[in-house]
Structure 1
Amino acid sequence: MAATKPTIVLIHGGWHVPATYSKLAEALRSSGYEVHVPRLASVNETRPPNADLSTDTALIRSYVENLVQAGRDVVAIMHSYGGQVGTNALHGLSAEIRSKEGKTGGITQLVYMCAFALPEGGSMVGKVKEFGHEHLLPLAFDFADDNTVLHRDPKTLLVGEAPGLDDGEIEAYVNSHVRWNGTCMYQEVSHCAWREAPVNYIYTTLDMTVPLDYQKSMVEKMQEQGREVQTFQLETGHCPNLTATAQVVDVVKKIAG
């Protein structure tokens, strides 16, 4: 009998909402995967914000716990800020740990898609400062007085070059974005799920929001901590879910079966 495919939980990035990932989610479903894209609380559009990294962490942990406690094998795909959330939320839920406890289900793979894979105490802005780029933050991001934030130029800096996509598809993508609680960029993770489950990283070589140097430094730091990281490389910008959908699905198939 063929093995059951794992359930996919897609943990989205800042500004994004579940509908922003409809192209990737539908492509994965067409390949036979059950796909969940829970909406993070930090993009609930409340002003002033009433949710941050800790709220997002609790939401994702509860969501995935319900799946694994039902015996599901879960592949977590994390995009951008979603890497920080998943890293913080999914500790202790790996299939390996649960198997040793006599339990079924668990996280079988972590997939960071140009995402923040940080150690304890790490933050998004901390990575920016590590490269001496903090002066670029106000150029890329438009912070309001209540600390909600929008990307100043999502077409260029998030989507980037997108051959084959028409302008209408790109417009619909960026128009789906909402204000996000910019405080999340500064908040530190306190747990590291990547220490406990198999790790994969999808590099996006044309990324202008999380540059390739940032991505490679995060992978190198995990490797220095003794973690094996399987890497994949896509010649695209920061939103491969939109601009390289088929290639992302191919990567997931290689990882998840």
Structure 2
Amino acid sequence: MSATITTTKPTLVLIHGGWHIPSTYSKLTSALRSAGYEVHVPRLPSVNETRPPNADLATDTSLIRSYVESLVDAGRTVIALMHSYGGQVGTNALQDLGHTSRTKQGQSGGVAHLIYMCAFALPEGSCMIDKVKEFSYEYLTPLAFDFADDDSCVSRDPKTLLVGPGTDDAEAEAYVSSLVRWNGKTMCQAVA
């Protein structure tokens, strides 16, 4: 007698970074979908281009928490892919949604893995700018980021800072052109 094992791929939720929007990740999400994954990339409210910014870490946290809760409450196993600032959001939003703890409570679904991509797993009470200070790079912040009077910001040289060498010029330009203003205050808001 042979046993049949049925496996279902987990649902992937990509929590994007500052300046990024879901379409910024189209190459990655296309590859993941081609491999049979269901991929979600909800747009963070702090990257809504509103001037002055009207959303922050708390707003982003609330959106991601609600979004992922709806998936896990439907019994889905979720892997969170968190890029850059998305690590701060995911760390804040996904507490107590772990697959193991939900199973112990008799609930199906849950977050099985947190994958930090160019992101930090920040402890409670800390924020992104704390990491910059920890490495003594605070003096580079005004050189790397252009902050407007309303605290929205963009990267001063996104091709160099975010893309790097070895990327086809057309692909790099498409990536850079997808970036938008973001609420820079979120870098200083602590994980709860």
1:185 partnered with 2:166: no
Q: Deviations over 1:182-223 (max 9, x none)?
A: 000100001xxxxxxxxxxxxxxxxxxxxxxxxxxxxxxxxx
Q: Which ranges in structure 2 are unaligned for 5 or more consecutive residues?
A: none
Shift of residue 24 of structure 1?
A: 0.3
TM-score by length of 2: 0.96
In structure 2, what is the equivalent of residue 117 of structure 1? 121
In structure 2, what is the equivalent of residue 85 of structure 1? 89
Cα distance in 2 between the residues matched to 1:132 and 1:95: 37
SS in structure 2 opposite 1:146? coil
Contact 1:82 1:116 in 2 (8 A): no
SS in structure 2 opposite 1:47? coil
1:160 to 153, 164, 176: 164
Shift of residue 166 of structure 1?
A: 2.2
Moved over 3 A (4+): none
Q: Mark the structure with the bigger radius of gyration.
A: 2
1:8 to 7, 12, 24: 12
Cα distance in 1 between the residues matched to 2:168 and 2:118: 23
Contact 1:142 1:150 in 2 (8 A): yes
**What is the letter of the counterpart of residue 175 of structure 1?**
S
In structure 2, what is the equivalent of residue 40 of structure 1? 44
Shift of residue 161 of structure 1?
A: 1.1
Q: Which ranges in structure 1 are unaligned for 5 or more consecutive residues?
A: 191-257
Give the 5 Å matches for 1:87-236.
Answer: 87-162=91-166, 165-190=167-192
Cα distance in 2 between the residues matched to 1:42 and 1:116: 19
Q: Deviations over 1:70-100 (max 9, x none)?
A: 0000000000000000000000100111001
Cα distance in 2 between the residues matched to 1:92 and 1:128: 28
2:57 to 47, 53, 59: 53
**What is the letter of the counterpart of residue 169 of structure 1?**
E
Shift of residue 131 of structure 1?
A: 1.4
TM-score by length of 1: 0.72
**What is the letter of the counterpart of residue 76 of structure 1?**
A
SS in structure 1 opposite 2:130? helix
How well do the aligned residues superpose, as a CA RMSD in angstroms?
0.7
1:29 partnered with 2:27: no
Give the 5 Å matches for 1:68-79.
Answer: 68-79=72-83
**What is the letter of the counterpart of residue 186 of structure 1?**
C
Shift of residue 51 of structure 1?
A: 0.1
Cα distance in 2 between the residues matched to 1:129 and 1:98: 36
Cα distance in 2 between the residues matched to 1:121 and 1:133: 20
**What is the letter of the counterpart of residue 180 of structure 2?**
V
Shift of residue 2 of structure 1?
A: 2.6
Cα distance in 1 between the residues matched to 2:161 and 2:149: 23
How many corresponding residue pairs? 188
Shift of residue 7 of structure 1?
A: 0.2
